[in-house]
Amino acid sequence: MIDIRNIPIAINDAGESLKDPQFSVAMERADGLIIVVPEYNHGYPEMTIFYDLNFGNVQTLFDESGNLIDKPTYIRRMERFMAELIWMSKVLRYGRQEMDG
Query: 30-41, pLDDT tens digit by residue?
Result: 888 888 777 767
pLDDT confidence tier of residue 22, bands split at 50, 70 and 90: confident
- Indicate yes or no: pTM above 0.75: no
Q: Which residues contact 26 (CB under 8 A, 6 or more apart)?
A: 2
- Rounded to whole angstroms, the maximal C-alpha distance in the chain is 53
d(CA 78, CA 28): 25
Write the single-letter amino acid at 30.
Answer: A
Nearest to 38 by CA among 56, 61, 18, 50: 56
Answer whether 92's CB lies under 8 Å from 32's CB: yes
